[in-house]
A and B are shown apart, each in its own frame.
Chain A
Amino acid sequence: MVATKPLNNTPLVRESTTLQALTAAALLLPGLAAQQPVYAADGDEFSFQYGRYEEGKRDLGGIKSTLQPIEVDSLQSSGRVSLADRVKFAFNFIQDTWSGATPITTAPSSRGGNRPYTQFNTVAGASPLLKDIDGGAIYFDQNRRPLNSFLDGDLGERVSLGVDDRVVHTMSVASPETRKEGNFKLSHEWDEMAIDVGGGISVESDYESRFGNLGARFDFNQKLTTLAIGGSYANSENFSRLSPHFTKSYINSSAFANQIRTLNDGTGDSVILGDREDWSGNINLTQVVNKSALFKLGTGFTHSTGYLENPYKAVTAFFIADVNAIAEGSVTDPDSGFPVTIGDFSSTIPYVGVARAFLEQRPNNRNQFNLTTGWVQHIAPLDAALHFDYRFNHDDWGINAHTFEGDWVQPVGSGWTITPRVRYYSQSQADFYYQYLIADMGSTVSTGAIDPGDNAKLPTQTFSSDHRLSGFGALSGGVMIGKQFARGLRFDAGFEYYTHRGSLRMDGVGEGDYADFDYWVANGSMTVNLSTLGRTLAESGHAHHALHHGAPLPAGIFCNGHMLEKADDFMMGYIYMYGRQDGAILQGSRPVNDATIIANGCEGGSCRTVPTFMNMYMHMLDIMYAPTDWFNLMLMPQFMDMDMNLRQLSGVVPDTKTYDHLHGGHTTGGIGDTLMYGMFKLFDDGQHHVNVGMGFSAPTADVDIKLNRMHGVDGGFIHYGMQLGSGTWDFKPTLTYSGRYDDWSWGAQINGTTRMQNHNQSGFAFGDMVQSSAWGGYNLLKWLSGSVRGVYTTQGAIRGRFNPIPGDCIAADQQTKLSCADTNPQGGTMDHPQNYGGRFWDVGLGLNAMIPDGAFVGHHMSVEWLQPVMDDVNGYQLERSGSLTATWSYMF
Chain B
Amino acid sequence: MINRNLLFLPWLLSAAAIGGCAEVQPWERGILAKPQMALELYPLQTELRSHIYGSREAASGGGASGGGGCGCY
Given contacts A5-B53, A209-B68, contact A399 B37 (CB under 8 A): no
Provide the residues of chain B in CB contact with A201, threshold 8 Å: 67
Tell me if A24 is interfacial: C-beta within 8 Å of chain B: yes
Smallest Cβ-Cβ distance to A484: which chain B residue: B35
Interface residue? A764 (CB, 8 A): no
Chain A residues with Cβ under 8 A from B22's Cβ? 289-291
Q: How far is it, in angstroms, between the C-alpha of A49 and the C-alpha of B61 when the chains are bound? A: 22
28 residue pairs from A and B, CB less than 8 Å apart: A5-B54, A6-B68, A7-B65, A8-B62, A9-B46, A14-B38, A26-B26, A76-B48, A96-B69, A198-B65, A215-B64, A222-B23, A223-B26, A224-B23, A279-B66, A290-B21, A290-B22, A292-B32, A368-B59, A378-B37, A391-B59, A400-B2, A409-B36, A425-B59, A430-B58, A482-B41, A521-B52, A523-B44
Q: Are B64 and A213 in contact (CB under 8 A)?
A: yes
A-B pairs, top 10 by smallest CB distance, nearest first, are A8-B63, A4-B68, A230-B64, A3-B71, A3-B55, A11-B43, A5-B54, A211-B67, A1-B70, A234-B66
A525 touching B44, Cβ below 8 Å? yes
A6, A8, A96 pick with most chain B CB within 10 angstroms:
A6
Quick one: which of B35, B62, B66 contacts A233, CB cutoff 8 A? B66
Q: Is the CB of A302 within 8 A of B62?
A: yes
* Residue contact A288 to B21, C-beta cutoff 8 Å: yes
Determine the residue in chain B with the shortest Cβ distance to A276.
Answer: B70
Which of A35-43, A252-260, A574-582, A686-694 contacts the other chain? A35-43
Q: How far is the CA of A14 from the CA of B72 in the complex (A)?
A: 28
B66–A492 touching, CB < 8 Å: no
Closest to A38 in B: B33
Contacts of A177 on B, CB cut-off 8 Å?
Answer: 73
- Among A279, A299, A302, point to the contact of B7 (Cβ < 8 A): A299
Q: Which of A15, A29, A285, A525 contacts B26 (CB 8 A)?
A: A29
Give CA–CA (A647, B17) in the complex, Å.
68
Instruction: A256 to B60: give the CA distance in the assembly, Å.
Output: 26
Interface of A toward B, CB cutoff 8 Å: 1-11, 14-16, 19-20, 22-27, 29, 32, 35-36, 39, 41, 47, 49, 51, 53, 70, 72, 74, 76, 78, 96, 98, 100, 102, 174, 177, 179, 181, 183, 198, 200-202, 204, 206-207, 209-213, 215, 221-225, 228-234, 236, 238, 240, 278-282, 285-292, 294-297, 299-302, 310-313, 368-371, 373-374, 376, 378, 383-385, 391, 393-395, 397, 399-401, 403, 409-411, 417, 419, 425, 427, 430, 468-469, 474, 480, 482, 484, 492, 494, 496, 498, 500, 519, 521, 523, 525, 527
Of A2, A282, A291, A296, the contact of B71 (CB 8 Å cutoff)? A2
- Tell me the bound Cα distance from A287 to B21 in angstroms: 9
Q: How far is the CB of A245 from chain B (nearest CB, A)?
A: 18
A9 touches B40 (CB 8 A): yes
Q: Which of A41, A295, A371 contacts B17 (CB 8 A)?
A: A295
Contact A492 B45 (CB under 8 A): yes
Interface residues of chain B, those whose CB is within 8 Å of chain A, are 2, 4, 7, 10-11, 14, 17-18, 21-24, 26-73
Closest B residue by C-beta to A233: B66
Question: Would you call B64 and A16 a contact (CB within 8 A)?
Answer: no
Whether A11 and B40, one on each chain, are in contact in the complex, defined by CB atoms closer than 8 angstroms, is yes
Inter-chain pairs besides A3-B54, A5-B54, A5-B71, 20 sampled, C-beta below 8 Å: A1-B71, A3-B69, A3-B72, A5-B68, A6-B62, A26-B33, A36-B33, A72-B73, A177-B73, A183-B67, A204-B69, A209-B69, A213-B66, A299-B11, A369-B62, A393-B62, A425-B53, A425-B59, A430-B58, A482-B42
**Which residue on chain B has the smallest CB distance to residue A396?**
B1
Contact in complex: A7, B35 (CB < 8 Å):
no
Assess whether A5 is in contact with B73, with CB atoms less than 8 Å apart: no
A98: chain B residues at CB < 8 Å are 73
What's the least CB distance linking B16 to chain A, in Å? Answer: 12
Q: Is the CB of B18 within 8 A of A287?
A: yes
Within the complex, the shortest CB–CB distance from A274 to chain B, in Å, comes to 10
Q: B59 contacts which chain A residues (CB < 8 A)?
A: 368, 370, 391, 393, 395, 399, 401, 403, 425, 427
Given contacts A9-B63, A222-B26, A287-B14, contact A74 B36 (CB under 8 A): no
CB distance from B10 to the nearest CB of A (A): 6
Pair A36/B52 contact, Cβ less than 8 Å: no
Given contacts A230-B64, A232-B64, A288-B21, contact A494 B42 (CB under 8 A): yes
Nearest CB in chain B to that of A77: its residue: B44
Give the residue name and chain of the A residue nearest to B6 (CB). A371
Q: Is the CB of A6 within 8 A of B42?
A: no
Q: How many angstroms from the CA of A400 to the CA of B11 in the assembled complex?
A: 20
Docked pose: A417 CA to B42 CA in angstroms: 11
Across the interface, B57 reaches (CB within 8 A) one of A36, A229, A285, A401, namely: A401
- The distance from the CB of B38 to the nearest CB of chain A, in whole angstroms, is 4
- CB pair A7 B68 closer than 8 Å: yes
B45 touches A4 (CB 8 A): no
Q: How far is the CB of A234 from chain B (nearest CB, A)?
A: 3
A41 and B31 in contact (CB under 8 A), knowing A7-B68, A53-B52?
no
B69 to chain A minimum Cβ distance, whole angstroms, is: 5
Q: For A22, what are the chain B residues with a Cβ–Cβ distance below 8 Å?
A: 26, 29
With A23-B33, A302-B62, A409-B41 in contact, is A369–B7 under 8 Å at CB?
A: yes
Of the candidates A70, A202, A300, A494, which one forms a contact with B69 in the assembled complex, judged by CB atoms under 8 Å apart?
A: A202
Contact yes or no, B44 A49, CB < 8 A: yes
Task: Verify A291–B28 contact, CB threshold 8 A.
Answer: yes
Residues of B within 8 Å of A51, CB to CB, are 45, 48
Task: Judge whether A385 and B37 touch: CB under 8 Å.
Answer: yes
Chain B contacts for A36, CB-based, 8 A: 30, 33-34
A492→B50 CA distance, assembly (Å): 17
Across-interface contacts of B72 in A (CB, < 8 A): 1-3, 207, 240, 310-313
A204 with B70: in contact, given A5-B51, A369-B62 (CB under 8 Å)?
yes
A371: chain B residues at CB < 8 Å are: 7, 10
Tell me if A3 and B52 are in contact (CB < 8 A). yes
Closest to A300 in B: B62
Set of chain A residues within 8 Å of B43, measured between Cβ atoms: 9-11, 14-15
In the docked arrangement, what's the CA distance between A368 and B49, Å?
20
Q: Is the CB of A302 within 8 A of B61?
A: yes
Question: Is A282 a contact of B63 with CB atoms below 8 Å?
Answer: yes
Is B60's CB under 8 angstroms from A6's CB?
A: yes
Please pick, from B32, B68, B73, the residue contacting A211 in the complex, using a CB distance under 8 A: B68
**Cβ of B23: which chain A residues have Cβ within 8 Å of it?**
222, 224
Taking CB as reference atom, which chain B residue is nearest A299? B7
Known: A2-B70, A211-B68, A282-B63. A494 touches B52 (CB 8 A): no
| Minimum Cβ distance to chain B for residue A79 (Å) | 12
Chain B positions within 8 Å of A215 at CB level: 64
What CA separation (Å) do A297 and B7 show in the bound complex? 11
Measured between beta carbons, the chain B residues less than 8 angstroms from A294 are 32, 37, 39
**Contacting pair B11 A468 (CB below 8 A):** no
- In whole Å, how far is A892's beta carbon from the nearest beta carbon of chain B? 21
Are A411 and B69 in contact, with the CB atoms below 8 A?
Answer: no
Q: Which residue from chain A places its CB closest to the CB of B14 in the assembled complex? A: A297
Name the residue among B28, B31, B72 with the largest chain A CB count within 10 angstroms: B72
Indicate if the CB atoms of B11 and A232 lie closer than 8 Å.
no
Point out the residue from B7, B32, B45, B60 that lies within 8 Å of A5, measured CB to CB: B60
Using A427-B58, A480-B45 as known contacts, say yes or no to A282 and B37 having CB atoms under 8 A apart. no
Contact A411/B56 with A209-B69, A224-B24, A234-B67 known, Cβ cut-off 8 Å: no
| CB proximity of A384 to chain B, nearest CB, Å | 7
| Chain B contacts for A291, CB-based, 8 A | 22, 24, 28-29, 31-32
CB-CB under 8 A from B33, the residues of chain A are 19-20, 23-24, 26-27, 36, 39
Minimum CB–CB distance from B58 to chain A (whole Å) comes to 5
Distance in Å from the Cβ of A496 to the closest Cβ of chain B?
A: 7
Give bound CA distance, A484 to B42, whole Å: 13
Cα A98 to Cα B71 with chains together (Å): 11
Residues of A with C-beta under 8 A to B17? 287, 289, 295
Tell me, rounded to whole Å, the shortest Cβ–Cβ distance linking A385 to chain B.
Answer: 4
Does A523 contact B45, Cβ atoms closer than 8 Å? yes
How far apart are the CA atoms of A399 and B58 in the complex, in Å?
Answer: 8
Minimum CB–CB distance from B45 to chain A (whole Å) comes to 5
